[in-house]
Amino acid sequence: MATRTVLLACFIHFFSLLWQSLASPIEDCARLSRSLPGLVFRNGTREFAESITSYFYVQARLLPACVVSPRDAEEVALAVDFLSKTGSPFAVRGGGHGSVTGAANVARGITIDMRSIADVYLDHGTATLKVGAGATWDMVYNRLDPHALSVLGGRAAHVGVGGYLTGGGISFFSPQRGFACDYIINVQVVLSNGTIVNANATHATDLFIALKGGSNNFGIVTRFDLRTFRQGDLWGGGIVYPNSTFEKLLGTFTSFKQLESFDPFAEIELSFVYLGSSSTSIATSSLYYAKPVVNATTFMPFMLVEPQLSNTLRISNTSDFAKETLALSTQNQSSVWATTTFTMTSTILSRILPIWQASALAMNRMTTITSSMTFQSIPPPPPRGMPNSLGFHTKSSPEKNLVLCLISIFFEDTKSQEDLELATKDFIRAVDQVAEDEGAEELFTYLNYAAGWQNPLHDYGDEVLNDLRKVAIEYDPAGILQKQMGGFKLS
Ligand SMILES: Cc1cc2nc3c(=O)[nH]c(=O)nc-3n(C[C@H](O)[C@H](O)[C@H](O)COP(=O)(O)OP(=O)(O)OC[C@H]3O[C@@H](n4cnc5c(N)ncnc54)[C@H](O)[C@@H]3O)c2cc1C
């Protein structure tokens, strides 16, 4: 009899847990749709399908119990306050360009899709741009280009403002001006208890600093006020080269990174791409000079590398260059991204190239892939008195001596996700080993490029991490955003 009672109790407990995990978010969706009529979408609706299929990468297209599309900060506050009380898992989605599964979407939970909060307002008096956190960078550039103004923003048109800025942000103008988050003047943010606060240099300053690199750990950003600067046309575009140029390009990039060569107007991404479908490799250099200077001297060595398969260098505006990057980006496939950083040495790049080539071939034996390895500079640190949370000392010069390495793998076969993540992890480990051998290791993992298994917030350093944890406790004392929301967490 006693055994039967215990079994029955276990049975009831199991089903109540199952019911909680399945039923609560569904119930939450029903209750939310009563408070936010017409803004909550279940699977089977056109809006739900549009939201899910608009994630840039397939691995981010999880199926939540519902998608909530608030139109302003008050509606975000209502949803977040409600969800913090029910305990259901939820996610916040900006432009949907992140590669980490579960960071901006949640299976069987509630996904808050911020894309309806996308007003872009230029205050001519203060030269400040107020941008809804659900906007994308093409909306921003379309607004600013006609006024010969710009901000620090994404280099691809559809990247979201929300994820990009809370992760740091590398822009066309970063070598001169820094991480994009350093040009934020004010952040309007909804805390986990539904309070709406403004964080800036004089109010809630600890929160303001934490949001510059600390991702979604402190609140849901609803608006960024950004400092604009004068920026007319620039000179830029891309050159595509065959694999016979690889060694030459590595040498050219190595010279470009010599300290005395530093040119604050020159921004470059050098990529090596393996196309598994045709077993071919190419290289691309994306070059942007922040002035309308044709054939900028700093870039001459890249322009002289021959042969070239194509060349789009031209004078144009930021919108046009961001559109070009989008057109060249692989989307609607599964992807794996991971990143590491090291100090430049004369030999490090030529030691990494064969490791990448071997890893691409090995991955292509698992399933057909495209593998891309990109080198670029880290932006300079923020000026004194305007800290961010990325961990670089104001006196350091990451823009001169550090190289950011991004590997991204694209593939159709969704079943290969885990294996390719493991293979990518091996690649990053091997690069870190080379960096260690060269005395070039650097503990910085760029959050916006990081894989789910990486720990970018920890890699900002103990001091920053402790500060971030204090801010999280102050503004989210119940730890709602740590427990109920995915992404890079502080634990
Ligand atoms: C084609 C392409 C080009 C890119 N180009 C660049 C580039 O030039 N420079 C660069 O630095 N990075 C670049 N990235 C990386 C990009 O910055 C990150 O993927 C970034 O997370 C995208 O932001 P999102 O809003 O689109 O992402 P999402 O996937 O929507 O969100 C990413 C993370 O941010 C959080 N988040 C989003 N909105 C908010 C909000 N309002 N409040 C709080 N948290 C929020 C989400 O919860 C999630 O954890 C690029 C990525 C792609 C795919």
> Which distant-in-sequence residues (6+ apart) come within 8 Å of 460 by Cβ?
213, 389, 390, 391, 444, 468
Q: Would you say residue 265 lies in a domain?
A: yes
**Cα–Cα separations (whole angstroms), residue 31 to 36, 117, 468:** 9, 22, 33
Distance (Å, whole) CA 221 – CA 210: 12
Q: Is the same domain home to 182 and 307?
A: no
C-beta of 481 in contact with ligand 1 (< 6 A) = no
Instruction: Please indicate whether residue 228 or residue 12 has the higher confidence score (pLDDT).
Output: 228
Residue 259: which pLDDT band, with cuts at 50, 70 and 90?
confident
Residue 8 binned pLDDT confidence (cut-offs 50, 70, 90): low
Q: Is a pLDDT exceeding 70 seen at residue 286?
A: yes
Two tokens at 341? 């950083």
Residue 166 CA, ligand 1 centroid: distance in Å: 8
Output the CA 449–ligand 1 centroid distance in Å.
9
- Tokens for 308? 């070239």
pLDDT at residue 1 tops 50: no
CA 154 to centroid of ligand 1, rounded, Å:
9
Whether 404 is in the pocket of ligand 1, judged by its Cβ within 6 Å, is: no
Residue 221 Cβ inside 6 Å of ligand 1? The answer reads: yes
- DSSP letter for each residue of 245-266: GHHHHHHHHHHHTSGGG--TTE
- What is the model's pLDDT at position 10? 54
pLDDT at 55: 98
pLDDT band of residue 261 (cuts 50, 70, 90) is confident
Pair 374, 304 in one domain: yes
How crowded is residue 95: how many other Cβ atoms within 10 Å of its Cβ? Answer: 27
Q: For position 54, what pLDDT does the model report?
A: 98
- Do 368 and 265 belong together in one domain? yes
Clarify whether residues 286 and 432 are in a common domain.
yes
Find out whether the beta carbon of 96 lies less than 6 Å from any atom of ligand 1.
yes
pLDDT category of residue 6 using cuts at 50, 70 and 90: low
Q: Is any atom of ligand 1 closer than 6 Å to the C-beta of 238? A: no
For residues 426 and 311, membership in a common domain is answered with yes
Residue nearest to atom 52 of ligand 1 (CA): 97
**Is there a domain that residue 176 lies in?**
yes
Do 331 and 343 sit in the same domain of this protein? yes
| Atom of ligand 1 at shortest range from CA of 189 | 42
170 lines ligand 1 (CB under 6 A): yes
Residues 37 and 122 in one domain: no
pLDDT of residue 16: 46
Ligand 1 center to residue 300 CA distance, Å? 32
What mean pLDDT is predicted for residues 337-351? 98
Residue 422 within a domain: yes
The verdict on 157 and 303 lying in the same domain is: no
Domain count, the chain: 3
Are residues 75 and 142 both part of a single domain? no
- Residue 11 above 60 pLDDT? no
Confidence band for 14, pLDDT divided at 50, 70 and 90: low
- Ligand 1 atom, smallest distance to 55 CA: 29
Can you give the residue range of the structural domain that contains 60?
2-114
Nearest atom in ligand 1 to 114's CA: 41
- Mean residue pLDDT of the chain comes to 95
Q: Residue 167: helix, strand or coil by DSSP? A: coil
CATH of the domain at 18: 3.30.43.10
Q: 207 and 140 in one domain? A: yes
Q: Does residue 167 have its Cβ closer than 6 Å to ligand 1?
A: yes
490 inside domain? no
pLDDT beyond 80 at 98: yes
Q: Give the whole-angstrom CA distance, residue 424 versus residue 180.
A: 27
Is the pLDDT assigned to residue 180 strictly greater than 80? yes
As a 3-state breakdown, the chain gives helix, strand, coil percent values, each rounded to 5, of 40, 25, 35
Q: How remote is the CA of residue 217 from the centroid of ligand 1, in Å?
A: 14
Sign of CA dihedral 464, 468, 473, 475: positive
Residue range 418-424: mean pLDDT, rounded: 98
Please determine, for residue 485, whether its predicted confidence score (pLDDT) is greater than 70: yes
Ligand 1 centroid to 16 CA: how many Å? 37
pLDDT higher than threshold 70 for residue 246 = yes
Q: Give the least confident one: 2-6, 65-69, 196-200, 443-447.
A: 2-6
User: Which has more confidence, 16 or 313?
Assistant: 313
**Which atom of ligand 1 is found nearest the CA of 220?**
42
Q: What residues contact 244, with CB distance under 8 A and at least 6 apart?
A: 307
Judged against a pLDDT cut of 70, whether residue 13 lies above it is answered with: no
| Residue bearing the CA closest to ligand 1, atom 31 | 163
Mutate to test the pocket of ligand 1, among 92, 115, 139, 159 (most ligand atoms within 8 A of CB): 159
pLDDT of residue 151: 98
- Domain co-membership, 453 together with 464: no
Ligand 1 atom closest to Cα of residue 335:
53
